[in-house]
């Protein structure tokens, strides 16, 4: 028997080897593609998770910052309101202290308290702290007058100077320490009323003065005011 192999056998072996090589090449290629996909998914998936985590962290940080700013604004507003409230309260107290005037605030009026016949009363007028009445002396006039005398409110006139002198005698203020806020008619030609204060504006006093025929001006009532808006 002959041992010589036929060409068909060699061809079959070659075909089998070629197929094996082809399958091996395909498997290697598929494995490479799979490996690339796996690595890509792993790398980009990790980057995406990191990005999301960073984004979430940034959002959370921004939220906390906004909350802190809001709280700071609230605290500042509360502090400002509290300061404004204290300032308003202080101002109100100062105004209250200024308005609560009494005869004790005027050193010039203290001698009046010792005079006989003095009366100090409360008033129904809410702006009048005290009403003081007494028998003040008449300020003698240097003018020649008659029963038809009418008060002259012309600054610098002799009549006006004597009227101012009577006002000063009622409040105990000197000529260089008095402010005449008003001097006006009190409802008749021989009746005047005046609001005055000292130069330091310690308080406001309202003086009622009458003309006495043939004699001069006489203070008849003094009111200590709580306030004056003139």
Does the domain at 103-225 match CATH 3.30.70? Answer given as no
What CA–CA distance (Å, rounded) separates 133 from 221? Answer: 5
pLDDT at 36: 67
Band the pLDDT of 98: cuts 50, 70, 90. Answer: very low
For the chain, the structural domain boundaries read 1-99, 103-225
More confident residue, 65 or 215: 215
Cβ atoms of 223 and 132 closer than 8 Å: yes
Q: Report, in this order, helix, strand and coil percent for the chain, each rounded to 5.
A: 50, 20, 25
pTM: 0.55
pLDDT at 88: 58
| CA-closest candidate to residue 222, choices 53, 140, 101 | 101
3-state class of 184 per DSSP? Answer: strand
pLDDT digits (tens, 9 = 90+) for 8-21: 555 566 566 666 66
């Amino acid at each position: 028997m002959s041992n010589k192999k036929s060409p068909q056998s060699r061809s079959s072996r070659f075909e089998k080897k070629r197929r094996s090589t082809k399958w091996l090449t395909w498997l290697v290629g598929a494995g490479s593609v799979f490996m690339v996909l796996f690595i890509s998914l792993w790398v980009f998936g990790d980057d995406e998770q990191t990005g999301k985590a960073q984004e979430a962290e940034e959002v959370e940080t921004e939220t906390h910052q906004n909350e802190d700013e809001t709280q700071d604004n609230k605290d500042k507003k509360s502090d400002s309101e509290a300061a404004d409230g204290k300032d308003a309260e202080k101002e109100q107290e100062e105004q209250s202290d200024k308005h609560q005037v009494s005869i004790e605030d005027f050193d010039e009026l203290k001698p009046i308290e010792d005079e006989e016949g003095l009366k100090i009363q409360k008033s129904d007028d809410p702006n009048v702290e005290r009403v003081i009445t007494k028998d003040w002396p008449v300020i003698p006039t240097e003018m020649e007058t008659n029963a038809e005398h009418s008060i002259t409110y012309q600054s610098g006139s002799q009549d006006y100077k004597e009227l101012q002198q009577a006002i000063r005698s009622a409040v105990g203020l000197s000529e260089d320490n008095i402010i005449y806020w008003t001097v006006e008619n009190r409802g008749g030609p021989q009746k005047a009323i005046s609001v005055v204060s000292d130069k330091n504006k310690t308080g406001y006093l309202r003086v009622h003065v009458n003309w006495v025929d043939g004699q001069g001006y006489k203070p008849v009532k003094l009111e200590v005011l709580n306030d004056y808006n003139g």
